[in-house]
């Protein structure tokens, strides 16, 4: 997030896209409702009529998977009507001319046909977002969990930068994380290209630093993503998988593909607090401790580190994750 959660209540316009905020992020949803109560305009872009639609000035009920043409239709309206922030673009942005050129052959009628949203609604949303000060974007897995999720995020970044609606109080681009402590896990290096603090695996200097700190020789090869692991298992090049706190046999876009791939593994270990769908496929299941049975920290969606203190001893054979890994 480029804004703190408490800043959301001070926004004059909020674009909530790909997020059922009241269900997935109820604390933050209260800030949205507080902003609306203070006079803010609310734009909801969602195929479904979610709870926030009751508070919205505009509901852009787009066809699933058409986020890019919707957002770029808003950007085109902003450029065509001269609503873009010339000073911000000149001082802070690159390749703006390329953005303009890419939209010359993109018509609003085309955007409406692809998305199923009337031209007038797309244009109204664009004007509201561009002319309100400050405006903020909130999105979550409805934007990112697509084959073109990166393009969705790029489109939202272009919208924010073209209007200068970023880098200010209550004005920015705010991805709401999809699970508890996923932010903290990423911060600590649980991503294929990174060591802790987002330091690149491909950087020789970074590898040397961590090799000395950890007393081991580190590879310069980037790890696999979940989807790449599943495909590698399916092809037979990956022989064993260790799953912690994840349930790909339920959460992956193609669960049948996951189940078939894991069936080809020579060895599957699952460490979890439940006997999940993935755990039921495992050769060994290691019982992990719940949040109330361990010490540590959680990092929330605004990167606030929250201390977690153990309330009870782990039940049965359950152990804290670090203890299982260490042994």
Domain 182-326 belongs to what topology?
Answer: Rossmann fold (3.40.50)
The bridge status of strand 135-139 relative to strand 13-17 is parallel
Res 181 pLDDT > 90: no
Structure tokens belonging to residue 31: 């800030």
- What CA–CA distance (Å, rounded) separates 102 from 75? 11
> CB atoms < 10 A from the CB of 69, how many?
22
Res 178 pLDDT > 90: no
pLDDT tens sequence across 75-102: 999 999 999 999 999 999 999 999 999 9
Average pLDDT in the chain: 95
pLDDT at res. 182: 87
5-175 shares its CATH topology with 182-326: no
Residue 177's nearest CA partner among 139, 226, 137 is: 139
Residue 185's nearest CA partner among 245, 237, 130 is: 245
User: With helix as H, strand as E and coil as C, how does 186-235 read?
Assistant: HHCCCCCCEEHHHEECCCHHHHHHHHHHHCCCCCCCCCCCHHHHHHHHHH
How sure is the predictor about 147, in pLDDT bands with cuts at 50, 70 and 90?
A: confident
- What CA–CA distance (Å, rounded) separates 61 from 149? 18
Res 179 pLDDT > 90: no
- What CA–CA distance (Å, rounded) separates 55 from 34? 11
The CATH code that applies to domain 5-175 is 3.40.228.10
- What CA–CA distance (Å, rounded) separates 293 from 29? 29
pLDDT tens sequence across 192-219: 999 999 999 999 999 999 999 999 999 9
- What CA–CA distance (Å, rounded) separates 42 from 39? 9
> What pTM does this model have?
0.85
Q: 320 to each of 12, 72, 175, 221, 314, how far by Cα in Å?
A: 44, 46, 29, 29, 8
First and final C-alpha spacing in the chain: 36
Q: Among the listed ranges 127-131, 265-269, 295-299, which one has the minimum average pLDDT value?
A: 295-299
246-273 mean pLDDT: 94
Domain boundaries defined on the chain? 5-175, 182-326
Residue 122 contacts residue 112 (beta carbons within 8 Å): yes
pLDDT at res. 251: 85
How sure is the predictor about 145, in pLDDT bands with cuts at 50, 70 and 90?
A: confident
> CB atoms < 10 A from the CB of 315, how many?
12
Res 292 pLDDT > 90: yes
- What CA–CA distance (Å, rounded) separates 25 from 302? 12
Q: 83 to each of 130, 164, 263, how far by Cα in Å?
A: 6, 10, 55
Res 253 pLDDT > 90: no
């Amino acid at each position: 997030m480029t804004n703190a959660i408490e800043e959301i209540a001070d926004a004059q316009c909020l674009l909530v896209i790909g997020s059922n905020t009241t269900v997935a992020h109820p604390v933050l949803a209260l800030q949205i409702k507080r902003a609306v109560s203070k006079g803010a305009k609310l734009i909801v872009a969602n195929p479904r009529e979610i709870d926030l639609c009751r508070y919205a000035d505009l509901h852009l009920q787009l066809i699933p998977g058409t986020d890019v043409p919707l957002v770029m239709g808003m950007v085109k309206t902003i450029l065509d009507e001269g609503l873009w922030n010339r000073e911000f673009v000149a001082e802070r942005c690159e390749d703006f001319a390329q953005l303009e050129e890419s939209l010359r052959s993109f018509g609003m009628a085309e955007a409406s046909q692809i998305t199923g949203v009337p031209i007038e609604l797309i244009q109204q949303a664009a004007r509201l977002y561009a002319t309100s000060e400050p405006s903020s974007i909130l999105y979550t897995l409805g934007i990112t969990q697509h084959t073109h999720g990166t393009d969705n995020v790029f489109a939202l970044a272009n919208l924010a930068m073209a209007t200068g609606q970023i880098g200010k109080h209550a004005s920015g681009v705010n991805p709401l994380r999809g699970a508890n402590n996923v932010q903290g896990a990423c911060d600590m290096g649980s991503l294929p290209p990174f060591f802790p603090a987002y330091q690149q695996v491909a950087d020789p200097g970074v590898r040397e630093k961590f090799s000395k700190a950890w007393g081991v020789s580190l590879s310069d090869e980037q790890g696999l993503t979940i989807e790449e692991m599943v495909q590698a298992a399916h092809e037979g090049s990956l022989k064993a998988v260790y799953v912690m706190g994840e349930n790909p046999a339920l959460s992956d876009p193609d669960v049948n593909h996951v189940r078939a791939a894991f069936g080809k593994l020579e060895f599957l270990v699952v460490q979890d607090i439940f006997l999940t769908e993935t755990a039921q496929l495992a050769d060994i299941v290691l019982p992990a401790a719940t949040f109330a049975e361990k010490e540590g920290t959680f990092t929330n969606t605004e990167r606030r580190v929250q201390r977690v203190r153990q309330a009870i001893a782990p039940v049965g054979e359950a152990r804290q994750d670090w203890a299982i890994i260490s042994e």
